Amino acid sequence: MKNAGNKKIILALLFLSFFSVQSFAQRNPIDINLIIDSSRSLADVKDDILSWTFARLDEILVNGDRLTIWSAGERASVIYSGVISAGEKENAKNKISGISPSGIYADFSGALTDAASRRSAAGYSYTLLISASPDALSLTITGPGANLLRFSRVEEYSSWRTLVVGLNIDAKVKSAAAAFFYN
């Protein structure tokens, strides 16, 4: 039983180290998925979320990254998809600024499912979900898309939260754990 607990701790550490901010400093281009809650809950915190999101994108994006942005309203939809260069970063920010809050729910499951279906050519992707709606997040956690949030890290802010979601990393986590324990 103690061994199982150690495995969970090691897997968590592997996951956190994989998605740490330092890993973005010098790296090859990757796929980045950004899912933004566009339900009515966004209205009260939109300025805070935009400010944080733009600063975060400036930290992590490098030229050549493939960025896909979903507006998660009643139905999730892609509002931007492109390869990052100096001009494209500003284009992506403009698309994010144009999100209009509406509807009661945020379709996080739809966006996560779509993001998971897009296999990275580079083999790596980074998925960031921004939620202003505790109800929508609860529906996702308890619904059929809950398995998509299995490898996630949550950061809480005053009225919203971010989740770094490890989509499609099951095999990588299992392989790393096996290599650690059996070598």
Q: What is the pLDDT of residue 60?
A: 92
Q: List the structure tokens of 43.
A: 């209205």
Q: What is the pLDDT of residue 174?
A: 53
* Cα dihedral 108/109/113/116 (nearest 10): 60
Q: List the structure tokens of 133.
A: 């709606």
Of 12-16, 62-66, 98-102, which range is least confident?
12-16
Q: What is the distance in angstroms between the CA of the first residue and the CA of the last residue of the chain? A: 21
CA separation (Å) from 8 to 111, 131, 150, 151?
A: 27, 26, 13, 11
**Does the pLDDT at position 127 exceed 60?**
yes
Residue type, 105: Y
Cα dihedral 137, 167, 85, 56 sign: positive
Q: Give 148's Cβ-side CA count (13 Å radius).
A: 22
Cβ neighbour number for residue 79 with a 10 Å cutoff: 17
Q: What is the pLDDT of residue 24?
A: 47
Residue 51's pLDDT band, with cuts at 50, 70 and 90, is very high
Residue 65 and residue 99 in contact, taking contact as beta carbons nearer than 8 Å: no
* CATH fold for the domain made of 28-182: Rossmann fold (3.40.50)
CA gap 31, 17 in Å, rounded: 18
The domains of the chain are located at: 28-182
Give the residue with greater pLDDT, 85 vs 27: 85
Q: What is the pLDDT of residue 81?
A: 96
Give the residue with greater pLDDT, 113 vs 86: 113
**Does the pLDDT at position 87 exceed 70?**
yes
According to the per-residue pLDDT averaged within each range, which of 1-15, 23-37, 54-68, 137-151 is highest?
A: 54-68
User: pTM score, two decimals?
Assistant: 0.76
DSSP-derived 3-state class of residue 33? strand
**Does the pLDDT at position 26 exceed 90?**
no
Q: What is the pLDDT of residue 22?
A: 44
**Interacting residues of 12 by C-beta distance below 8 A, sequence separation 6+:** none
